[in-house]
Structure 1
Amino acid sequence: MIEVDGVTVTAGGTTLLPAVTLTVPRGAVLAIRGRNGSGKSTLLGVLAGSRTPTRGTVRIDGADVSPRDRGFRRRVAAMIGLPPMAPDLTVSDHVLLVATTWLDDPREAAELARTVIAELHLTGLGQRFPHELSSGQTQLFGLALVLARPFDVLLLDEPEQRLDPEHVESVIQVLRARRDAGATVIAATHSPALADRLADRTLWLDAAA
């Protein structure tokens, strides 16, 4: 599903991402670990198409990374930082809007939105506005927005950020369900629990530097 060959990112003489070569098969989970500044988010940005590599190539499902192509955007969903949030839309409004954007059937979109909200324990928060959420609730809300759409590849930057152990466990279960449904998941993480219990393989960027 994902082929990365000799990808490096540099800026102003500084190496932001050391050379990375890897293959991630369909339906597998890769955890990216390493110290702050080792290039985890940069690698995710390259895979998502928001960062251009200095050298090397990336292929996803046999095609080049092309974020302006709807087919690529349909295949790849990413949360690298929190998604944009409208202050005058509720949690439920946001999630339904994303689902409706991607699914033609309004009933299917509504069902997907309800399912994702329930999975992430946001049902009781559905009528709140973004500014009324705690930092942990906002993190779960961000995850709901990226999960409320179809995808083949899911890219996540520290999905456990700001979450207590109970909610980290919920996120592990949600991501495991997506993997079991055939999605390929790549998550940059500082959580040993998430990496050990979810990932098929771990890439240590510290070791690559």
Structure 2
Amino acid sequence: MLLAPVSASVGSGDVLVVRGRNGAGKSTLLRAMAGVRTPTSGTIRIGDEIVTERDRRFRRRVAAMIGLPPIAPDLTVADHVLLVASTWLDDPLAATELARGVLGELGLTPLAARFPHELSSGQTQLFALGLVLARPFDVLIIDEPEQRLDPEHIDMVIDALRVRRDNGATLVLATHDPRLAEALADHTLWLGEAA
């Protein structure tokens, strides 16, 4: 993996914003933090545990949105979000309530009966975020949540992420959007030269 040596830590309920130019290694760092890529040297820890996607406890604690998720062409937006919620929650009523809440929070309720291929690029970005928010986590890792979104929808994303932070989740996100970074960052990590 190609990434200059980097060191950072973030506490529970804090937000670490990773900034830098394209190609600086933001996505690579997030993939390593999410356990998708293995660093060739160094250690990444979530709490006291070394990051490993193969560990069930790690997967329960850490949710990540790095790129668009795989989708099933025959499931609607609502079906996808409910499937994710049902996978993580044993109570069907709680899963349904969580799925409905996430759809409403991200303005996706009017699109609930559509299939993913019927969404615009901005709607697809909100849908992807909805899938990651429809499950429990202690740590949320997101790569450029502002992609393809207009300012109104970026504000919606900021609000949704603030709710998770205020409820005690730790957030790590890469962004090019200065407004999103300013609204959320407790700590900023610059990769490459600071702009």
The counterpart of 2:105, out of the listed 115, 119, 123, is: 119
How many residue pairs are counted as aligned between the two chains? 194
Question: Per the alignment, in what secondary structure is the counterpart of residue 42 of structure 1?
Answer: helix
Q: 1:30 — aligned with what?
A: 16
Deviation per CA, 1:128-171, whole angstroms, max 9, x where unpaired? 00011000000000000000000000000000000000000000
Q: Distance in 2 between matches of 1:93 and 1:51?
A: 29
For residue 160 of structure 2, what is the amino acid of its counterpart? V
The counterpart of 1:142, out of the listed 128, 138, 157, is: 128
Question: Per the alignment, in what secondary structure is the counterpart of residue 43 of structure 1?
Answer: helix
Aligned residues: CA RMSD? 0.9
Q: Distance in 2 between matches of 1:69 and 1:49?
A: 10
Q: Distance in 2 between matches of 1:75 and 1:170?
A: 24
Deviation of 1:116 (Å): 0.4
Q: Which runs of 5+ in 2 are unaligned?
A: none
Question: Per the alignment, in what secondary structure is the counterpart of residue 180 of structure 2?
Answer: helix
Question: Per the alignment, in what secondary structure is the counterpart of residue 20 of structure 1?
Answer: coil
Deviation of 1:66 (Å): 1.4
Relative CO higher for 1 or 2, CA cutoff 8 Å, sep ≥ 6? 2
Q: Distance in 2 between matches of 1:178 and 1:201?
A: 17
Deviation of 1:183 (Å): 0.3
Q: Which runs of 5+ in 1 are unaligned?
A: 1-8, 10-15
The counterpart of 1:180, out of the listed 163, 166, 182, is: 166
Q: Does residue 73 of structure 1 match 2:59?
A: yes
Q: Distance in 2 between matches of 1:171 and 1:49?
A: 24
How high is the TM-score relative to the length of structure 1? 0.91
For residue 97 of structure 2, what is the amino acid of its counterpart? E
Over 6 Å off, 4+ runs: none
Q: 1:84 — aligned with what?
A: 70
Deviation of 1:39 (Å): 0.3
Deviation of 1:207 (Å): 3.4
Q: Which moved more, 1:116-125 or 1:53-62?
A: 53-62
Q: 2:89 — aligned with what?
A: 103
Higher share of residues assigned strand: 1
Question: Per the alignment, in what secondary structure is the counterpart of residue 143 of structure 1?
Answer: helix
Q: Distance in 1 between matches of 2:71 and 2:129?
A: 12
Q: Distance in 1 between matches of 2:180 and 2:192?
A: 18
Q: 1:41 — aligned with what?
A: 27
Q: Distance in 1 between matches of 2:185 and 2:122?
A: 23
The 5 A counterparts of 1:43-62 are 43-62=29-48
Q: 2:141 — aligned with what?
A: 155
How high is the TM-score relative to the length of structure 2? 0.98
Q: Does structure 1 conserve the Cα–Cα contact (< 8 Å) formed by 2:10 and 2:187?
A: no
For residue 167 of structure 1, what is the amino acid of its counterpart? H
Q: 1:94 — aligned with what?
A: 80
